[in-house]
Amino acid sequence: MTARTLYDKLWDSHCVTDLPDGSSLLYIDLHLLHEVTSPQAFSNLRRMGRRPWRADAALATPDHNVPTVLRELGTGGFDDPIARRQVETLERNCRDFEVPLFPLGDLRQGIVHVVGPEQGLTLPGMTVVCGDSHTATHGALAALAHGIGSSEVEHVLATQTLRSRKSKNMAVVVDGPLGDGVVAKDLALHVIGRIGTAGASGHAIEFRGSGVEALSMEARMTLCNMSIEAGARVGLVAYDAVTQAYVEGRPFAPEGAQWVEAKHHWRELHSDAGASFDRVVEVRGGDVAPCVTWGTSPEMVVPVSGRIPHLHEARDEVQRADWSRALAYMDLPAGASVHGTPIDKVFIGSCTNARIEDLRAAARVLRGRRIDPRVKLALAVPGSGLVALQAEHEGLDEVFVAAGFEWRAPGCSMCLGMNADRLQPGERCASTSNRNFEGRQGRGGRTHLMSPAMAAAAAVAGAIVDVREL
């Protein structure tokens, strides 16, 4: 048998049939839903008199537009009528269609991409979809996971299958461990800086090599989460002892004889020796530095000791125009160093960096320190109620609050401008999220993407600094 990649194996084991137009029908094991991309799907089902094919293979939780303070319906936080209606609609749809829901107030509620793995709903070898591009996150567990559109949400609900086209295989091979103070977020930004935001278009990325094997599950999720920012729909990491240890004992993970059998199957979830990749990108782990974006795309990124490029360094006219526009929007001069750029707000959260390890990393920097008076607002937003509980158990909330941060309730929060947590026009934010396009965190807001420890360091310094020097 020919050697197959992990992606090939996952594809083959879920392909129901190949269709005449070159696409295939894939069986979907887990369907995650949130309030923004599901209403239309449910209302179409209702109109057509259809029921979900397997409601128990779905899980819904509100995340994008939930307030992170005063969350009860009827209190001040929920003053946006559209947001409120979407959350109420999700609750009603889940009730009517018998789809399991972790509602607001449930300790298990949170950002879907934090909740799925945390609950053991996302398991190795599965296909996982959600009406959300950052579904790639779940690929860290050796699952074939990607975002789908609203009409596909309806299709998956009705049939438990998805029409899909196979991507090419790409390997990002990380040789050797990351240096001290350098984390998966830096690696993701480093790779995107090298290959660009379209660099992995049409490919499924498998992150591999000793530098990836050394990463924790949380870190692997951060890495896969940002595959979409490199143009890939899918990010993957092979199953190994780290995956097994993470999954074991989670609420929905298999138990007893099923656990033993599952482990046996999961052992195959890696690319065969000799499997060929259409594209290979090699990174030396030790070459990666803490990274910070300076522009309005994740590829506009430099090491924190680096400087913003000069316009004449652009590869062509198109890039020059993009850089010029980005610099005007960000109000930064070409050629300047990013180090020392003053910031107004700090956001530690999102499906990229709101897991327990991320909060621990930020708290380690903040312990015994205060945020700089120039910082108007610093938010720490755990990715789920259970992450919050764990953090509180470890006293991390107290570290954040003592440093001057606000400790908020779980949701997407300031990752995107869909709830009350926003930047004001012109404000500059050190953010652990994944997107920095114009207006992403609020109209006129300026985003600098970085790791949790770097964001914490920026909060303390009131400016972008290298966490390793703090």
Ligand X SMILES: CC(C)[C@H](C(=O)O)[C@@H](O)C(=O)O
Residues that constitute the known binding site: 351, 412, 415
Q: How far apart are CA 364 and CA 311, in angstroms?
A: 38
Q: Where are the alpha helices (DSSP H) in 396-442?
A: 396-403
Q: Phi, psi at residue 157, to the nearest 5°?
A: -60, -45
**Which residue in 300, 351, 387, 449 binds ligand SF4 (CB under 6 A)?**
351
147 touches ligand X (CB under 6 A): yes
Site stretch for ligand SF4 (CB under 6 A), options 43-51, 208-216, 234-242, 408-416: 408-416
x-or-dash string of contact with ligand X, 106-145, rule CB under 6 A: --------------------------xxx-----------
**Could you give the CA distance from residue 415 to residue 187 in angstroms, rounded to a whole number?**
20
- Figure out which of the listed residues 434, 441, 447, 451 binds ligand SF4, where binding follows CB under 6 A: 434
Closest residue to ligand X, Cβ-based? 133
> Does 447 sit near ligand SF4 (CB under 6 A)?
no
Q: Are 170 and 281 in contact (CB under 8 A)?
A: yes
Give the residue, chosen from 156, 238, 292, 416, that forms a contact with ligand SF4 under the rule CB under 6 A. Answer: 416
Q: What is the nearest approach in angstroms of ligand X to the Cβ of residue 437? A: 9
Distance CA 327, CA 293 (A): 11
| Residue 156 interacts with, from ligand X, ligand SF4, none (CB under 5-8 Å by kind) | none
Which does residue 36 bind out of ligand SF4, ligand X, none, counting CB within 5 to 8 angstroms by kind?
Answer: ligand X
DSSP string, 227-284: GGGGT-SEEE----HHHHHHHTT-TTS--HHHHHHHHHHHTT-SPPTT---SEEEEEE
For residue 205, the 8-state DSSP code is E
Contact between 355 and ligand SF4 per CB under 6 A: no
Q: With binding defined as CB under 6 A, does residue 65 bind ligand SF4?
A: no
Cα torsion 303, 308, 309, 314: sign? positive
Q: Known binding site for [4Fe-4S] cluster: residues? A: 351, 412, 415
Tell me: does residue 345 bind ligand X (CB under 6 A). no
Q: Are 438 and 404 in contact (CB under 8 A)?
A: no
Verify binding: residue 36, ligand X, rule CB under 6 A: yes
Number of residues that bind ligand X (CB under 6 A): 8
| Cβ-based nearer residue to ligand SF4, 127 or 133 | 133
Q: Is 253 exposed, middle or buried (0-12, 13-18, 19+ CB in 10 A)?
A: middle
CB 232 within 8 A of CB 170: yes
CA distance 389 to 172: 35
In terms of CB distance, is 125 or 452 closer to ligand SF4? 452
Under rule CB under 6 A, residue 229 binds ligand SF4 = no
Instruction: Note whether 86 binds ligand X by CB under 6 A.
Output: no
Torsion, Cα of 31, 224, 21, 162 (10° steps): 0
The nearest distance, CB 225 to ligand SF4, in angstroms, is 8
* Greatest distance between any 2 Cα atoms in the chain: 64
| Residue 64 in contact with ligand X, rule: CB under 6 A | yes
Which chain residues interact with ligand X by CB under 6 A? 36-37, 64, 132-134, 147, 416
Q: Which positions touch ligand SF4 (CB under 6 A)?
A: 63-64, 111, 132, 134, 350-351, 412, 415-416, 433-434
